[in-house]
Amino acid sequence: MLADGSVPGASESFELDTPAERSGHVAVVDRSAMYVWGGYKNAQNHGYFDLYLPRNEIWMYSMETGEWSKHLAGGNLHTSMSGSCAVCVEGVLYLFGGHHARGNTNRIYRLPLRGPTLTWEEMRELTGTPPSAKDKLGCWVYRNKIVYFGGYGYAAHEHRGTFEYDESSSLMWDSPGRGWNNHVHVLDLETLSWSQPITTGNSPSPRAAHACATVGNRGYVFGGRYKNFRLNDLYYLDLDTWQWHEIVPQGGPVGRSWHSFTPVSQDHIFLFGGFTTERDTLSFGPGLVPILM
């Protein structure tokens, strides 16, 4: 480890025509382009298990031409990360949290995508109490607000919700210990403020590496990891009333984490991939999850 806390060899640039293989990355869509950032890949000949992808690289996939292009972003993004949470709102990519060589973070950045250059900007002037430092959380966008849910990271003492300590995390080098939570936080993009609503109803258990989807005024969440289990439960949060509801569809899919969950209509969400409790990778079996009640 270097004097600044970084790990030598923990990130690297790759001269490729397409993005390097990766997991724990983020991908957002703006207009006819998809933008991919971050994550990690297996190290080769470095003696490390994980290799973070370069923080300054943004890959863009054009849905019109079917081609990838690499772009270099400037600004003050402090490190490469995996497990961050990203969303695009009106041409701006918002990036929260993640895990890096020194542990978790709760910093948030914005990256305007439609200008002549790409420049990361840390959002330092926000008011209110932000979420705790964590990764593998999910989010919904509703009425110019970003609503964050769950994740895995450090304990928070002044947050509504449940935190479940991961006993195995204290054995890792990046102590203090970490765990799972089911906290809900709201970032208002108009007032530039954090808040934590009081939710009602039957809330989901703490979890991380789940997937979220917004349909109308409902924020849906499926699956994720809690302790040594991959979950297959389905909930939605009414983003007007902040009430939780559980849905029990017939023939539910196997529990999983690190999957995708994409709305395709007003009453169906497309579920694909993931990682099971038995550590199997789900490369097949996409399905439509009915959500109409």
Distance CA(63)–CA(79), nearest Å, equals 29
Q: Which two tokens stand for residue 276?
A: 């099971």
Q: For residue range 239-286, what is the model confidence (pLDDT) as tens digits?
A: 999 999 999 988 889 999 999 999 999 999 999 999 998 888 886 555
> CATH number of the domain at 125-292, please?
2.120.10.80
pLDDT interval class at 9 (50, 70, 90) = very low
Please tell me the predicted confidence (pLDDT) of residue 10.
Answer: 43
| Nearest residue to 111 via CA among 123, 97, 126, 121 | 121
CA distances in angstroms from 266 to 26, 261, 288, listed in the order given: 24, 14, 12
Q: Cα 88 vs. chain centroid, distance in angstroms? A: 12
Q: Which CATH architecture has domain 17-124?
A: 6 Propeller (2.120)
Please list the helix, strand and coil fractions of the chain in percent, rounded to the nearest 5, in that order: 0, 50, 50
pLDDT interval class at 293 (50, 70, 90) = low
Q: For residue range 92-123, what is the model confidence (pLDDT) as tens digits?
A: 999 999 999 889 999 999 999 999 999 999 99
On the CB side of 57, how many CA atoms lie within 13 Å of its CA?
24
Helix (H, G, I), strand (E, B) or coil at 167: helix
Q: Is omega for the bond preceding 286 within 30 degrees of 0, making it cis?
A: no
* Residue carrying structure tokens 């000949």: 45
Please tell me the predicted confidence (pLDDT) of residue 5.
Answer: 36
pTM of the predicted structure, to 2 decimals: 0.90
Q: Which two tokens stand for residue 94?
A: 């918002």
Q: Where in the sequence of the chain do the CATH 2.120.10.80 domains occur?
A: 17-124, 125-292
Q: Is omega for the bond preceding 176 within 30 degrees of 0, making it cis?
A: yes
CA distances in angstroms from 99 to 96, 147, 191, 231, listed in the order given: 10, 20, 27, 22
Q: For residue range 165-176, what is the model confidence (pLDDT) as tens digits?
A: 998 876 555 466
